[in-house]
Amino acid sequence: MMKYLQKLGKSLMLPVAVLPAAAILMGIGYWIDPSGWGANSAVAAFLIKAGGAIIDNLPWLFAVGVAVGMAKKNDGAAALSGLVAFLVVTTMLSSGTVAMLKGIPVEEVPGAFGKIVNAFTGIISGLVAAACYNRFRETKLPQFLAFFSGRRCVPIVTSVAMLVVSIILFFVWPVIYGALVSFGIAIKDLGPLGAGIYAFFNRLLIPTGLHHALNQVFWQNLAGINDIGNFWGPTEELLACNGIVGNYTVGMYQAGFFPVMMFGLPGAALAMYHTAKNNKKKIASSLLLAAAFSSFFTGVTEPLEFSFMFLAPGLYLAHAVLTGISVAFAAAMQWMAGFGFSAGFVDFVLSSRLPMAKQPWMLLVQGVVFFAIYYVLFRFLITKFDLKTPGREEDDVSDAEMNATLANNDFTKVAEIVLEGLGGKENITSIDNCVTRLRLEIVDYTKVNEKKIKSAGVMGVVRPSKTSVQVIVGTQVQFVADEFKKLCE
């Protein structure tokens, strides 16, 4: 199971890699025009829309990215199937479709269906599409249906599979969503403790998209709290009582996120960088640095969280616990700030002078402490339990292998020699590659000629089992893999 989750985590790296730049564009645009979100500035509108084209469509990216990453041959048919899967489930469970199926007005459709376009449905769509591709990509149909054989049948099978998934979610999704709303309402009167519990589940539920259920209770006006609205546009009654009503203080469900997003997660990124393998530090740093800056500047944490969420689930649980502690502590200390975009530097500066802000600069002090806590705890857990965070994946190789270059830069020729040494394309059942290795599944291990393979200039051959062969190529592996796949078609 852990190996499957780690492969899923690696599959998410492709879509996650594009998020930091998009988040920063949106953050700058929001800074320029925080009230109008581009309505008052053409420059702001350009930046916000440019970044939003990626951020707002993250579930679509996950559907395609996971399908490609989890498929055995990273084929375009898998990507198309991921898109088809996502289109089916989000269309079948949209508010309009549900209204027609139930024969009720759209206004009466449970709010859960208005939140069906999320990272969870994107990931599920990608997983189903990849499973269908791996199972049906070589299916041979009768002659009169031959056109739909092989890869062409995969999107068709995927669409049928997603109809089944849609039926299941039709009954399950609103029940779970409603239960979380009820849970949020039950803890809303617990003061700082309730704020901490909410923040814990807010982070924990992000992979499923169900955090929106709790957000509606605390950030919007579903249960009469409307914390974001009250912070940015307080009523005269709230101004008169300084934003304190019983156990509730305006901003208490927002403020504690700033120390985590601006400081805690960057501290976690630094810990992951320092614990990465020496030969992968450069690769890890490029992702972690961009993701950490995105978290600090804009409060968009998905690039960083999804980089270790599935690779090291236990670490993500620790992150959720720390977030809960941070929010509860800030609420108890009455240090308040709010956000309209997310809990990053931009919103901190914009909100710190508003009437409902209370000692916001103390959140920076808390943030420094949480930077240290995240760094120490993450570094300890990663090294203690050998967690596979970015730069520590199982396909790690030595420095010599990472820095190796092929003796022959004719990648087509190299692929031909390797294929011959593996017994020809009839002996290959699966082709994949990591950072430095071709990872292959074979039929007959007796046909493998290691001497022949090494004559191509590769660094070595590893044979983990009778059906698996890994050819160590070096950092040029992608070029060899592309040519190798062409030869096997």
Q: Which of 348, 372, 394 is the last residue of a domain?
A: 394
Residues 222, 83 within the same domain: no
Which member of 132, 153, 241, 434 is catalytic? 434
Helical ranges in 309-396 per DSSP H: 313-333, 345-351, 361-385
Q: Are 85 and 158 in contact (CB under 8 A)?
A: yes
pLDDT at 166: 97
- Average pLDDT of the chain is 89
Q: Which two tokens stand for residue 319?
A: 């992150």
The predicted structure's pLDDT at residue 403: 43
Tens-place pLDDT, residues 31-81: 999 888 899 999 999 999 999 999 889 899 999 999 998 887 767 889 999
Token couple for 120: 């969870």
The domain total for the chain is: 3
Residues 351 and 415 in one domain: no
Does one domain contain both 381 and 406?
no
Catalytic-residue membership of 434: yes
pLDDT band for 397, please (50, 70, 90 cuts): very low
Answer yes or no: is 212 within a domain.
Answer: no
> What is the residue range of 276's domain?
188-202+218-394
Q: Does some domain include residue 459?
A: yes
Q: 295 and 403: one domain?
A: no
Judgement on whether residues 382 and 416 belong to the same structural domain of the protein? no
What angle (nearest 5°) sits at the alpha carbon of residue 464, between those of residues 459 and 466?
115
What pLDDT is attached to residue 372?
Answer: 98
Residues 6+ apart with CB under 8 A from 279: 396, 397, 398, 399, 401, 402, 403
Given a cut of 80, is residue 417 above it in pLDDT? yes
What is this structure's pTM? Answer: 0.77
Nearest to 65 by CA among 81, 51, 52: 81
Give the containing element (helix H, strand E) for 248: strand 248-249
Mean pLDDT within 109-120 = 91
Q: Which two tokens stand for residue 323?
A: 């977030």
Q: Is residue 156 very low, low, confident or very high in pLDDT (cuts 50, 70, 90)?
A: very high
- Distances in whole angstroms, Cα of residue 210 to Cα of each of 136, 164, 165, 248: 32, 21, 17, 24
Strands (E), 397-484: 428-433, 437-442, 460-465, 468-472
- Asked whether residue 135 is assigned to any structural domain, the reply reads yes
Q: What is the pLDDT of residues 429-460, one digit of tens each?
A: 888 887 678 889 899 988 999 888 888 888 78
Average pLDDT over residues 326-348: 96
Percentage of the chain beyond pLDDT 90 is 61
Sheet of 460-465, strands arranged across: 428-433, 437-442, 468-472, 460-465
User: What pLDDT is attached to residue 435?
Assistant: 66
Q: Give per-residue pLDDT as tens, 210-234.
A: 898 999 899 988 888 999 999 998 9
**Residues 26, 42: Cα–Cα separation, whole Å:** 13
Q: Are residues 23 and 153 in the same domain?
A: yes
Clarify whether residues 388 and 403 are in a common domain: no
pLDDT of 409 = 67
At 186-210, the pLDDT tens digits run 999 999 999 999 999 999 999 888 8
- Helix 58-70 to helix 76-92 angle (10° resolution) is 140
Q: Are residues 381 and 442 in the same domain?
A: no
What pLDDT is recorded for position 79?
Answer: 92
- Residues 371, 403 share a domain: no
Are both 286 and 368 inside the same structural domain? yes
Residue 17: the pLDDT is 80
Let me know: does 418 contact 411? Beta carbons within 8 Å.
no
Q: Where is the domain boundary, 365, 394, 423?
A: 394
Q: Is 358 left (phi over 0), alpha (psi -120 to 50) or beta?
A: beta
Burial of 347 (0-12, 13-18, 19+ CB in 10 A): buried
- What's the CA gap between 87 and 80, in Å, rounded? 11
Greatest Cα-to-Cα distance within the chain, rounded to the nearest angstrom: 83
Give yes or no: residues 176 and 198 share one domain.
Answer: no
In a domain, 343, yes or no: yes
User: What confidence tens digit (pLDDT) does each residue in 244-254 have?
Assistant: 998 899 999 99
Report d(CA 217, CA 181) in Å as an integer.
6
Establish if 207 belongs to a structural domain. no
Tell me whether residue 210 is in a domain: no
Q: What is the pLDDT, as a whole number, of residue 401? A: 42
pLDDT in tens, 268-281: 999 999 999 887 88
87 touches 122 (CB < 8 A):
no
Considering 394, 415, 443, which residue would you say is the last residue of a domain?
Answer: 394
Rounded Cα distance, 102 and 81, in Å: 28
190 vs 489 pLDDT, higher one: 190
Across residues 172-187, what is the average pLDDT?
93
Per-residue confidence band for 394, with pLDDT thresholds at 50, 70 and 90: low
Is a pLDDT exceeding 50 seen at residue 405? no
In a domain, 213, yes or no: no
455/312 same-domain check:
no
**With contact defined as beta carbons under 8 Å apart, do 435 and 283 qualify?**
yes
